[in-house]
Amino acid sequence: MALEYPEDRLQKLAALREAGVDPYPATPPSNREYAAQILNSFEQREGQNTTVCGRVMARRGYGKLAFIDLDDCSGRIQAVMEKSLVEPADFALLKHLNLGDFIEVSGELKRTNKGQPSVYGTKLRILSKAMTEPPAKWHGLNDVELRARMRYVDLFANEGVRETFLKRSAILSSMRQTLVGHNFIEVETPVLHPIYGGANARPFTTHHNALDMNLYLRIAPELYLKRLLVGGIERVFELARVFRNEGLSNRHNPEFTMLEFYQAYSDYHGMLALTEEIVVNAARAAGLEGEDGSITTTFRKEVFNLTPPFARVRYAEAFTEHVGIDPCDGGAVEQRLLKEEIKVTGEGDYFWWKAVNNLFERFVEPHLRGPIFVTDYPAAICPLAKPSVSDPVWAERFEFFLGGMELANAFSELNDPQLQMENFERQAIDSDPEAPNAVDHDYVRALGYGMPPAGGCGIGVDRLIMVLLGCDTIRDVLLFPHMRPETEE
């Protein structure tokens, strides 16, 4: 791609170099302070000297006096360049400045005649010459697709975008702190898997040349994390990058972040309590707690109360309420499947309950505004979960819903190696021909050495952040979301 820059900027760049000024100096600023740090203590510090650095966002005045708005990561501060106060060579640099340039200003903290806290510069240095015009002040960068594609511009051109990602960082820190506070340890498991598993999804495939073997980008870290339970590490978690070779939508991105955590000597009840705590603490980290202790967020014009405890409902109860029939009433369910043109695509419990679950997804999930936990799913579609002791038709599993979206999935983990092998073999037969599931024999071998009873949970971090921050699409909470190829005009 040929580099084409505005003639005005090319001329100013050349003029700087002709004057012996390096427009991209290697020496970093010294004793630099943040804009917010200065403004928050301005009353006490007025009259002192300081150094500020930032991007030129606006410039006013010419001749003997110039006002420059500088942005750094903490906020905006005004620099005042008065010819009588600035070294002549530095003042001469003003005519070579453009919006978007990064500069360093040293000087005295004073108020303008209108009372605005400012840095009255005595020294000016160009730190980086911007060669591309930033978005227009009043129109900004408004195209949604362009904003996601050019996030490096979106971050400084649109108010609130930077704040979104600062809050995302705070939420991730909160998740870590919550789990570490419960004596979990953070681990890292492989991203390249010889066999993919832990979820029903199509993987990305790559090839290891030295070993001449196909590998798969992980679709879930689950099976490696549970191997650690076998090894005696009783509480583990991973904030994992996960890859699924599937479609794009306002809540799907091929690369995303999962929080998965596993606890020995626990079950899905323990995971439910811990998941609720993680979500509540994440909401607090996002600044959603009011003075009265209530926690609320607004997502797609709907207000959600996240003050615990969250609601709970059994799968069968929710199904009966919204579909209008008992999911265990085979005749009634069969008639409803025919009416909705949902096919049972094979013989056996798995295919039957998969069709039943299609009814659940279509008619129940849109009503799960939340926050709500749906518990006790059909065991036939839960190959990694323990069947319920009281009724093996159901599994000790829950999903957490908020805003009509599933945000978390948890089990009492199956630790019977023989039953796990049976489930894997059945899953391999029943899987999508375009993404067949292979049996992970090594995982079953690990279970043979004994895995303690345990609970485990996976949380879709990006979706949760999207709801907490009230963002319309998952792209709004990903710094660099996957985009369709850019077309040239």
Assign 3-class secondary structure to 74-86. CEEEEEEEECCCC
| Residue partners of 4: CB distance under 8 A and separation at least 6 | none
Whole-number Cα distances in Å, 140 to 134, 176, 289: 8, 36, 31
Residues 395 and 294 grouped into a single domain = yes
Alpha-carbon distance of 337 to 329, in angstroms, equals: 12
Domain-embedded: residue 30: yes
Domains held by the chain: number = 2
Residue 320 lies in a domain: no
> How many Å apart are CA 373 and CA 370, to the nearest integer?
8
pLDDT tens, per residue, the chain with 489 residues:
568 899 999 999 999 999 999 999 999 998 999 999 999 999 999 999 999 999 999 999 878 999 999 999 999 999 999 999 999 999 999 999 999 999 999 999 999 999 999 999 999 999 999 999 888 754 566 778 888 899 999 999 888 899 999 999 999 999 999 999 999 999 999 999 998 887 778 999 999 999 999 999 999 999 999 999 999 999 999 999 999 998 888 889 999 999 999 999 999 999 999 999 999 999 999 999 999 999 999 999 999 999 999 999 999 999 999 999 999 999 999 999 999 999 998 888 888 999 999 999 999 999 999 899 999 999 999 999 999 999 999 999 999 999 999 999 999 999 999 999 999 888 777 655 555 567 899 999 999 999 999 999 999 999 999 999 999 999 999 999 998 887 754
Inside any domain, residue 389:
yes
Same domain, 98 and 50: yes
Give the residue numbers spanning the domain of 28.
7-134
* pLDDT (0 to 100) of residue 437: 66
Shared domain for 177 and 209, answered yes or no, is: yes
pLDDT recorded at residue 139: 56
Please check whether residues 119 and 168 belong to one and the same domain: no
The pair of three-digit structure tokens given for residue 252, joined into one six-digit string: 């799907």
Q: pLDDT, tens digit, for every residue of 111-126? A: 999 999 999 999 999 9
**How is the beta sheet containing 205-208 ordered, strand by strand?**
192-193, 213-217, 205-208
345 domain residue, yes or no: no
Do 292 and 439 reside in the same domain of the chain? Answer: yes
Coil, strand or helix: which one is 410?
Answer: strand
Specify whether 396 is located in the same domain as 430.
yes
| Co-location of 168 and 224 in the same domain | yes
* Whether residue 212 is found in the same domain as residue 296: yes
Is residue 34 within 8 Å of 53, Cβ to Cβ? no
Indicate whether 232 and 275 sit together in one domain.
yes
Would you give the end-to-end CA distance of the chain in angstroms?
A: 13
Q: Is the pTM of this model over 0.85?
A: yes
